[in-house]
Amino acid sequence: MDNKNPINYLEEDAIFHLRTNRSSYVIKVQSNSYLIHVYWGKRIDGGSIGWYCEAPYRRQNRIENNSPDNPGYTSEFWPYEYPVFGSSDFRPPAINITNSEGYSLNDLKYKSHRIYKGKNRNKNMPSLMEDNDKNIYSLEIILDDKPEQVQVELLYTVYPEYDIITRSSRVDNYSDKPKVLNEIMSSSIDFKDGQMTMVQLSGTNLRENHIIERELTAGTTSIESTRGISSHVQNPFFALKRKGCTENNGEVFGHTLMYSGNFVYRVHIDQYSSARVQTGINKDTFTWLMEPGKSFMTPEAVLCFSDEGMNGLSRRYHKVFREMMPQKIRKEERQIALNTWEACYFDVSHKRIIELAERAKQIGIELIVLDDGWFGKRNDDSSSLGDWDINLSKFPHGLNGLSKDLKKMGLNLGIWLEPEMISPKSNLYKLQPDWCLHIPGKKRTEWRNQLVLDLSRVDVRQYIYKKVLEVLDNSGISYVKWDMNRRLTEVGNSILPPERQAEITHRYTAGLYEILGKLVRKFPSVTFENCASGGGRFDAGMLYYFTQAWPSDNTDAISRLKIFYGSSLCYPINNFISHVTSVPNHQIKRSTPLSFRIDAAMTGILGFEMDLMDLKPDEIDLIINKVEFYKAHRSLIQFGTLYRIKSPFEGNQAAWMVTSEDKTRCIVWFFRFHSEAEEAYWNIRLTGLDIEKQYKCEATDIIYPGDVLMNVGLNVPWKQEDCLSHVWSFFAI
């Protein structure tokens, strides 16, 4: 076996061995040509493991006569790499195709394979990039169902340096008759056992990405979305961790999907306590008609194994998402923004924005984001979505005039848009009432006084692209907040035939990606922010196009700590923007100290969303000092390596830190939410440092040995007050 090549085919044993720097993934072709999953876990280098596959690695007492060559072969005893529907395997399938006679029975067998450097990715869907300077290799395995004349290609790409393996699937109909694709998974993995804890990110609007853990048990456990977007309720990430796995130790298997539509992740524990783990498009809202000669390709699943606990898993995901995404500005420091929403709501004007900008400049803000209310007749949320023309009574000099005035002050201009929506009270709706998602003759749900434009239609996509182009061209705008404030309902249209109506949710997502791809290529220097009523579409698919995301419309500092902590399991913190807002908080009416709000918001991309004219002199001084600190450490905060220390889901405190790659600098955050009588305090044990180095605290000049900070810990100053926060910076001497 070639230990330098990340993908090896061991012909004697018919085994594929995929390896990253720290993990192995092994597949075998059985003697009857079925593809079997063998192993995924810590890297192994010791020769052949063909003996491991001589029989199913479970239920040995039931299979004496169940060899692959026996006519009585029973599928449900075997760990398949890509299981099919209709055979004697009664566990969930990875693919289900109905032929023209109405039968659903597939029999996919190994036909061929190809190993090559680089990646043959789907250019119309988001996926991790290849890099000619990296040792990235791909494996394509062709499975063939000759009687049905259907072929499935399994694509694996190995990113050794990142400990990442991606998977996707493509099905081809090479018969002369149409077929219906009822279900197709991006990945399917059969584990020997199911003794694991499932970690998921769940919640709702204003309470996104809370960490939920549960032990796997008999039956099927799933997380999914049927809302047309990945949703606030379930994030398209989950992990399976072995017993004893902590933040810094133990084995964990991560799964995420680069997809922003309806998805399903499921873990099926069978009667023998073995686990089948699958990720893909949600079949409840999906079928696809495959005409002769046509194909369908799935979104890409991003798989990661860590033997260094949840922090190790997060570090791997953060690194690959930062470095293997296409945005040209992904490594640039993000600017500090003032968003006008909670300062003005719909009451925006040229004069009001300039007034705010003068105060913003004073406290160190670099970017003004003009939120809702600048277009059409938009004085509340009842009208004008779709009519993306500047309101000249509010902005007599246009967006370009506003941008020029801000530039004179040394500030940049950003804009809020919601291009996927249409208001029934709009010029566009009067002209094109058929352009929204709807089922002819049925009620159209006007949630938030708006409907959803049908992005499955070419004419609608062309209109959206044209209108956004008009807003951005020659306007001086350097930042776009792309919002999406409702779910998809009445999913249908009057164009597609009945047999294709169930394709619309996926076509909508693909249509969105088409628009975004054209825009980010057209405006490579514009920062695009992803928002969907907060974190309603916070996923790796959107991260492909957007350099940052708005995790939640809940700007309360304590609430944001939990949202940040959960989101950080998968997504890099320089993707999160957090705003300092006024109190009582506009969403949950809680009051927290200004210092606490700023400390919480500077974890990631710092921003503000408040009426700066209401600030008192001492508050202005505090903000100036905090902003100066943030700017001095911005590169480390946004691009450092994150280590979670104390979970806000497990008590009254939270703590985390970021370190530089060379471990010479770090920033540490500590938060206590509420004052408790005689509350127990423990030192914060840091991690990710060099035990041989000495670290100096920037604020106190105290010098700490690295091993002391990691083993004894950092003492937390105690005060009897609510919402206590501390931020320390250290540098090696």
Residues acting as catalytic residues: 483, 553
Strand 337-339 to 367-370 pairing: parallel
What tokens does 339 get? Answer: 């968003």
Choose among 331, 372, 575, 401: nearest CA to 482. Answer: 372
Whose CA is closest to 236, among 251, 250, 256, 221? 256
DSSP for 125-171 reads S--PPP-TTS--EEEEEEEEETTTTEEEEEEEEEEGGGTEEEEEEEE
Please give the Cα distance from 172 to 162 (Å, whole number).
31
Six-digit token string for 374: 């600048």
Whole-angstrom Cα distance, residue 730 to residue 657? 11
Residues 494 and 434: beta-carbon distance below 8 Å: yes
SS (H, E, C) 346-377: CCCCHHHHHHHHHHHHHHCCCEEEECCCCECC
Task: Decide if 144 contacts 109 (C-beta within 8 A).
Answer: yes
CA distance 312 to 254: 11
**What is 374-397 written as a DSSP string?**
SBTT-SSTTS-TT---B-TTT-TT
**Helix axes of 617-639 and 594-601: crossing angle, nearest 10 degrees:** 20
Within 10 Å of residue 703's Cβ, how many Cβ atoms? Answer: 12
In whole angstroms, what is the distance from residue 487 CA to residue 187 CA?
A: 26
Tell me the pairing of strands 207-215 and 219-224.
Answer: unpaired
CA dihedral over 712, 718, 724, 729, signed as positive or negative: negative
Amino acid at 618: D
Q: In the block, which residue shows the tokens 């029999």?
A: 107
Helices 504-522 and 458-472 pack at an angle, to 10 degrees, of 30
Nearest to 657 by CA among 631, 682, 630, 686: 686
Closest to 158 in 3D by CA, of 171, 140, 143, 184: 140
Residues contacting 590, CB < 8 A, separation 6+: 556, 558, 583, 584
Handedness of CA 566, 567, 573, 577 (dihedral sign): negative
Structure tokens at 24: 């192995």
**Cα angle value 16/173/277 (rounded, 5°):** 45
Nearest to residue 482, comparing CAs of 549, 576, 390? 549
Phi/psi of residue 611, each to 5°? -80, 100
3-state secondary structure 455-510: CCCHHHHHHHHHHHHHHHCCCCEEEEEECCCCCCCCCCCCCCCHHHHHHHHHHHHH
Give the chain's radius of gyration (CA, Å): 27
